[in-house]
Amino acid sequence: MSQPFTAIATLIAKPGRQEALEQHLRALIAPTRAEAGCSQYDLHQDLANPLAFYMIERWASDEALQAHDASAHIQHFRAQAGEFLEHFELKRLRAIA
């Protein structure tokens, strides 16, 4: 089993669609926080660029993140994301200090 890690998801809304993206991201928070292996799942919006959102996540293991990716709520989000999501990127981070 892998070690705990932090992930930062960057999600950029299509122009004029930031409210839709925010609504869909907010809907992911409660079910994700209830998942085994998730200790943090916090949504942020960029003050300088309101199209940009960041999900700060903390996972117990790679397996926990893989289970999250396979969850019904994430699959539902992905099925609809083309309507409002311009860009997605996930960075996995190891704490060093």
The Cα–Cα gap between 57 and 8 comes to 6
**DSSP bridge partners of 85:** 13
- The parts of the chain modelled with pLDDT lower than 50 are none
Q: List the CATH number of the domain containing 10.
A: 3.30.70.100
For residue 43, give its domain range. 5-93
For residue 4, the model assigns a pLDDT of: 96
Q: Considering its fold, how many domains does the chain have in total?
A: 1
Q: pTM for this one?
A: 0.94
Which two structure tokens, joined as six digits, stand for 23? 């609504």
For residue 61, the model assigns a pLDDT of: 96
Q: What percent of the chain has pLDDT over 70?
A: 99
For residue 1, the model assigns a pLDDT of: 59
The Cα–Cα gap between 10 and 92 comes to 11
